[in-house]
Amino acid sequence: MMDLPEQRLREAGFFSLAVKTPGFVIGVLLSGFFVFVAVLSLYWTPFDVTVFDVPNRLRCPPFQAWVGGLDFPSAQSSWFGSWQCSAVPQYQLGTDHFGRDVLSMIMVGARTSIAVAIVAVGIGIVLGVPLGLAAAAQQGSFFYEFIMRTNDLVFAFPALLIAILITAVYGPSAFNAIIAIGIFNIPVFARLARGAALSLWTREFILAARVAGKGKFRISFEHILPNIMNLLIVQGTIQFSLGILAEAGLSYLGIGVQPPTPSWGRMLAEAQTMIFVAPHLAILPGMAIVLSVLGLNLLGDGLRDILDPKLQRDRS
Amino acid sequence: MLVFTLKRLVSLFFSLVAASVVVFFVIEIIPGDPAALMMGINASPEAVEELRQQLGLNLPPWQRYANWVLGLLQWDFGVSYTYKTAVSDLINDRIWVSLPLTVYALTLSTLIAFPVGIIAAARRNSATDVGIMGATQLGIAVPNFWFAMILVLIFAVSLRWFSAGGFAGWDEGFLAGMKSLTLPAIALALPQASILARVMRSSLLDTLGEDYIRTARAKGLSRSQTLWRHALRNGLIPVLTIIGLQFSFLLAGAIIIENVFFLPGLGRLVFQGITQRDLIVVKSVVMLLVFAVIVVTFIVDIAYGIADPRLREGR
């Protein structure tokens, strides 16, 4: 059987193909920057996010002065006292209503997003992939039907509804948010692994392994799994970006990461009441979300194009 | 077709039963004592016991489940613990915000995605195509609630064309109601339109690569004629699935968007239900939304069977 993409990849090499895919390069740069900022925030942030600099609260970013178009109604009529939205040079992205540095909060928020998304995707892979492989190995059995029907059922609950159900019972927390996003990832990976494994089970090298006396379990892990790794990595990237979006949405509703841990969704929720007086608080964390999600999506799409251009993205 | 429909109906029935069991299990079995959960930690034992009586929690679980499902079938969800009114009244009231919002957003998303996707496919690899693909990539990355806030900033704060939130109500007239739903619907529709446009494009490109398209071109049809007469119809099938799927995303998205704009819809109701620990409201609305998603999936399946006879046998 001819495998054109694999051949192309082997002949040209991953790196030279990667450089020719502009989306991939942008994706790597954006995602790399995002991860770098998150790691950096472990060791250094411009300011401590737990310190309230009350005299300097609700400062605008200094650059707002030269971005002429961003001129919003003045702050005189605000409910927060008699401050003016003026900038002070030490806060590069301004401060929030407690006087916390927005730049530092966005940096720590990147860490929160990554942590939640990694664990949620991890749950999906660790539980979903074995389920999918097992279902494919026992096609037609009761177990197979059961797994597939359960998958369909989980798909019928939008992820947000699962999260709402869980928080309604256990109360809001980062842990519950992770579980909720993770549960939704399980059928995604189970379905993907099953579909890819099913087509591999008909191939000759699997037949050879069976003839050699290997059991279904060993074949699944020693032969099927390595061959669907590419797919899993691509889907993992996509789910990672969806996880960041989901975390932001849950935290925005107040049922995700709880204060005082900074998170982008939480920052947006707090910014909403102050949108008339301090619009930068609403704009900046959102841009952080957009750039990181965009980076991960470009990375995933680029990887898919390089590893196998024929693959279709599965967004559901 | 009849066998196909019957099979789907049976599967629809079991999905609904399974979903209701899951919702019931999560809300009423896992937390231990729902009455204590709803009253909070400061409640007196007598008050909790009274609520237990009122909710019928002293019955065995299977009987509670049967009562709940029988109630659901008669559109009777019980009495809200915080609002002190029938949940069905609350839902009847709020559904007329959520449903129009979802349909509005779905219409917008389809109206944007179709032409955009078709143009991108027709001018494949041109600057237009690259531009459209870049824009949709951005559209997918934008969280709808943030986009909503930006819309408020531009159209409500700066330009003052729309109000920043709230719902005028249908009593004020159809246009006033639609106007207050416009910004929320745009915010909901943008990411979905981006996904839909991409699906539209790739599905059309797949179809354009088929042999019968080459045949059509060979017999003398122009490029645009083949696109409109042959490719579009066949390319629409995957797009229909995505539209069906989007309904559930839009319903879930509406929960967040309604909270951004303070719209008195089902999303806001379920959210307030959580903050006030009103499990009866949460349970009912979640079940209703899941029900809607399952039924829409069923309708899409049937529509499929009608549109493409090959799919009837495949299952």
pLDDT at A39 exceeding the cut of 80: yes
B276 contacts B284 by C-beta, under 8 angstroms: no
- Which candidate in A24, A74, A157, A296 is best for mutational testing of the B interface (most B CBs within 10 A)? A157
Angle between helices A279-307 and B127-141 (to 10 degrees): 120
The nearest CA of chain B is from the CA of A128 a distance in Å of 19
How far is residue B99's CA from residue B251's CA, in Å, rounded to a whole number? 8
Quick check: is B297 in a domain? yes
**In chain B, residues 187-216 whose CB comes closer than 8 Å to chain A:** 195, 202
Average pLDDT of the residues in B164-178: 74
Q: Specify whether B102 is located in the same domain as B59.
A: no
**Rounded Cα–Cα distance for residues A153 and B18 (Å):** 8
The whole-number average pLDDT for the span B220-226 is 79
pLDDT value, residue A126? 93
Q: For tokens 């939130």, name the residue.
A: B165
**Is pLDDT larger for residue B307 or for residue A272?**
A272
Mean pLDDT of A232-254: 87
| Interval B51-64: pLDDT, tens | 777 777 777 778 88
pLDDT band at A62 (very low <50, low <70, confident <90, very high): low
Residues of chain A contacting B297 with CB distance shorter than 8 Å: 156
Task: Find the radius of gyration of the CA atoms of chain A.
Answer: 24
From A253's Cα to the closest Cα of chain B, the distance in A is 7
| Beta carbons of A298 and B137 less than 8 Å apart | yes
Examine the domain organization and report whether B95 and B21 are in the same domain: no
What six digits make up the tokens of B269?
């109701």
Nearest to A273 by CA among A80, A5, A23: A80
B270–A279 CB contact, under 8 Å: no
A211-220, B77-86, B201-210, B262-271: lowest mean pLDDT where? B77-86
Asked whether the predicted pLDDT for residue B48 surpasses 50, the reply is: yes
Highest-confidence range of A69-78, A109-118, A162-171, by mean pLDDT? A109-118
Which of B24, B42, B73 is a domain's end point? Answer: B73
Give the model's pLDDT for residue A290.
Answer: 92
Contact yes or no for A168 and B279 at CB 8 A: yes
Query: Does the pLDDT of residue A73 top 60, yes or no?
Result: no
CB pairs A-B closer than 8 Å: 131
Overall number of domains in chain B: 2
Amino acid A121: pLDDT: 92
CB B282, CB A164: distance < 8 Å: yes
Give the chain A residue whose CA is nearest to the CA of B31: A169
Q: Give A-chain residues touching B150 at CB under 8 angstroms.
A: 282-283, 286
Residue B123 belongs to domain with CATH number: 1.10.3720.10
Compute the average pLDDT of residues A115-135: 90
Instruction: Tell me if B157 and A152 make a contact (CB, 8 A cut-off).
Output: no
Range B96-114 average pLDDT: 89
> How high is the pLDDT of residue A22?
79
Tell me whether residue B80 is in a domain: no
Same domain, B211 and B306: yes
| Three-state secondary structure readout of chain A | CCCHHHHHHHHHCHHHHHHCCHHHHHHHHHHHHHHHHHHHHHHCCCCCCCCCCHHHCCCECHHHHCCCCCCCCCCCCCCCCCCCCCECCCCCCCECCCCCEHHHHHHHHHHHHHHHHHHHHHHHHHHHHHHHHHHHHCCCCHHHHHHHHHHHHHHHCCHHHHHHHHHHHHCCCHHHHHHHHHHHHHHHHHHHHHHHHHHHHCCHHHHHHHHCCCCHHHHHHHHHHHHHHHHHHHHHHHHHHHHHHHHHHHHHHCCCCCCCCCCHHHHHHHHHCCCCCCHHHHHHHHHHHHHHHHHHHHHHHHHHHHHCCCCCCCCC
CA angle B184, B188, B194 (to 5 degrees): 140
Determine the Cα–Cα distance for residues B287 and B81; give it in Å rounded to an integer.
Answer: 17
B217 belongs to a structural domain: yes
Mutate to test the interface with B, among A71, A290, A297, A310 (most CBs of B within 10 A): A290
State residue B33's pLDDT score.
67
Q: How far apart, in whole angstroms, are the C-alpha atoms of residue B236 and residue B240?
A: 6
Of A158, A254, A301, the CB nearest to B248: A158
- Is B267 among the domain residues? yes
State the pTM of this model. 0.83
pLDDT of the residue at B5: 82
What 8-state DSSP symbol labels residue B26?
A: I
Together in a domain, B123 and B50: no
- Residue in A149, A152, A169 closest to B27 by CB: A169
Contact residues, chain B, for A294 at CB < 8 Å: 137-138, 141
Domain boundary residue, one of B15, B40, B73: B73
Query: What is the pLDDT at residue A306?
Result: 79
Please, what is the Cα angle at A161 between A155 and A163, to 5 degrees?
105
Q: Mark whether B58 and B103 lie in a shared domain.
A: no
Phi/psi of residue A173, nearest 5 degrees: -165, 160
Same domain, B39 and B128: no
Kindly state the average pLDDT of the residues A168-193.
Answer: 84
pLDDT at B160 over 70: yes
**Which range has highest mean pLDDT (B182-186, B226-230, B271-275)?**
B182-186
Confidence of residue A122 (pLDDT cuts 50, 70, 90): very high
Query: How does residue A292 score in pLDDT terms, banded at 50, 70 and 90?
Result: very high
Residues 6+ apart with CB under 8 A from A31: A292, A295, A296, A299
The secondary element (H helix, E strand) that includes residue B40 is none
d(CA B283, CA B77): 9
What number is the average pLDDT over the span B292-300?
82
B268 and B136 share one domain: yes
More confident residue, A247 or A161: A247
Expressed as residue numbers, the domain containing B20 is 2-73
Q: With beta carbons under 8 A apart, name residues in chain B contacting A159.
A: 252
Mean per-residue pLDDT over chain A, rounded: 77
What chain A residue is nearest to B195 in terms of C-alpha separation? Answer: A315
Compute CA distances A296 → A58, B44, B190, B205, B257, whole Å.
Answer: 31, 51, 19, 25, 24
Q: What is the pLDDT of residues A1-21, one digit of tens each?
A: 345 556 666 667 777 777 777
Is residue B125 domain-shared with residue B161, that is, in the same domain?
yes
**B249 belongs to a structural domain:** yes
Using alpha carbons, list the distances in angstroms from residue A208 to A78, A214, A226: 75, 9, 16
Of A49-63, A196-210, B90-104, B246-260, the range with the lowest mean pLDDT is A49-63
- Who wins on pLDDT, B89 or A313? B89
Both B151 and B65 in one domain: the answer is no
Contacts of B294 in chain A (CB under 8 A): 156
| Chain A CA closest to residue B158 | A72
A161, A241, A315: residue with CB nearest B286: A161
Q: Name the range with the highest mean pLDDT among A147-151, A200-204, B194-198.
A: B194-198
Q: Which of A202-206, A261-265, A311-315, B54-58 has the lowest mean pLDDT?
A: A311-315
- 8 Å CB contact of B26 and A271: no
User: Is residue B210 domain-shared with residue B109, that is, in the same domain?
Assistant: yes
Comparing CA positions, the residue from A293, A232, A303 lying closest to residue A23 is A303
Residues B48 and B118 in one domain: no
- Residue scoring higher pLDDT (A13 or A264): A264
Residue B9 falls inside a structural domain: yes
Confirm whether B6 is domain-assigned. yes
Residue A87 pLDDT: 63
Residues B290 and B169 in one domain: yes
> Which of residues B17, B43, B73 is at a domain's end?
B73
Q: Does residue B79 belong to any structural domain of this protein?
A: no
Question: Is the Cβ–Cβ distance between A243 and A120 less than 8 Å?
Answer: yes
The pLDDT score that the predictor gives to residue B52 is: 72
Task: Decide if pLDDT at B149 tops 80.
Answer: yes
